Each structure stands twice: as structure tokens, then as C-alpha cells.
Amino acid sequence: MHTLPDTVVVASGNVGKLREIEAILGDLNIKFIPQSQLGVSEAEETGATFAENALLKATHAVAATGLAAIADDSGLIVDALGGRPGVLSARYAGPSASDAENVDKLLRELEGVEAARRGAAFHCAVCLLTPDGNAPVTASGEWRGRILTERQGDGGFGYDPVFLDIGSGRSAAQMSSAEKNERSHRGKALRKLAARLPRL
């Protein structure tokens, strides 16, 4: 990838992810198009790691559109649960589970677990792939925090209402979009990715 593509397909149906990608990579002068606008189906996430799933999703979108694609796979790793929900974060309570159902399951599993043992981290792997056969550009990021005993805030998506950012003392759902992008796993991964692109 010697030049940046003008148009990149976002290999996700998650509007929250699309907004974050556009906000963080907006100064690259790339037009981001959600794959749903092009009739691209969701890729089957069969990878054992976030990085494997990100590459699967990007590869699927490139094959379906002939355009460059960016994909991320992210999730929540909870210490007291042995790393769950991990790569199953988006479908923790079932294949078509809602964010609320996933959060409910997480809170049930952590019921009675003291604050000191509720450590967790959001992880994100991001991949930019072009149709020209060049190797994918990848990056990753982590956001350490703790799982709350109940929801706080109404912003964000996914597990944001129960993820406490230790530094600010607020949940991810109580932060502005700009503040969350500055601290988050996805923000860190996307900034690393952007920093690697000009050198290619």
C-alpha cells in the first residue's frame, strides 16, 4: 500500500464503530462507506483472536467489493471470568443478543465479586487491507478498567455503561465521544494504524 485509497469500506454493521473510525481517521481524507450500503453481508467470525477476526472481516469486504476495507475486532476481557467474554463479546448472551442482554449476562456472572477482582480490559485489533495484494496494515490497542455493579451513563454502545475508566472515575458511557476516543482501545489502535500509513 504505497498510497492511501480514496474510499474504504468499513467492514462492520456497528454504527458506533463507524462513527469512531470517521472521527479518529477523519483527517486522512478518506471516504468511509459502511459495508451494508454496498450489500455486503457480515463475515463469519471464526478466528480465535481479535486480530484473526479483523483480518477475516477485512478480507471478506475486499473480496465482495473490490475496494480497500478497514475492519476491527474488539471485545472485553474480564479478569475474574478467565478472559471471557473475549472474542465472543458481541454475542456473549447468544448469536443475536442485544447490547443490553450481553451486559445483563456479564453483571449476573460477576454478582458478588468484589471491586478489587472486577478488573477488565477492552481490546481492539484493526486491519486495513487493499485489493492489490499488499500485506495488511494492522494495529492493536488496550483500555484497562473495571466492571461496575450497575450501568452508569447512556452514551456509547456495547459494554460502555458498565466499564469504569479508572483515571476519570466515570464509565465509558458517561464520556463525550472525543474523550472516549482519546482513551479507548479502538482510539489507540486506529491512531497507531494511521501513524503507520504514511511510511508505506
Quick check: is 132 catalytic? no
Domain containing residue 184: 7-199
Is 115 part of any domain? Answer: yes
Indicate which CATH number applies to the domain containing 103: 3.90.950.10
Q: How many domains does the chain have?
A: 1
pLDDT of residue 1: 53
Confidence of residue 61 (pLDDT cuts 50, 70, 90): very high
Statement: residue 199 has pLDDT above 60: no
- Choose, from 27, 72, 73, 160, the residue flagged as catalytic: 73
The model's pTM is 0.90
Q: Kindly state the average pLDDT of the residues 169-185.
A: 94
Average predicted confidence (pLDDT) for the chain: 93
Encode pLDDT of 135-168 as tens digits. 999 999 999 999 999 999 999 899 999 999 999 9
Backbone angles phi, psi at 71, to 5 degrees: -140, 150
Distance CA 24, CA 22 (A): 6
Q: Kindly state the average pLDDT of the residues 37-56.
A: 94
Is 95 part of any domain? Answer: yes
| C-alpha triplet 107, 20, 26: angle, nearest 5° | 170
Distance CA 71, CA 128 (A): 7
Is 45 part of any domain? Answer: yes
Q: What is each CA distance from 155 to 19, 148, 178, in whole angstroms? A: 13, 15, 12
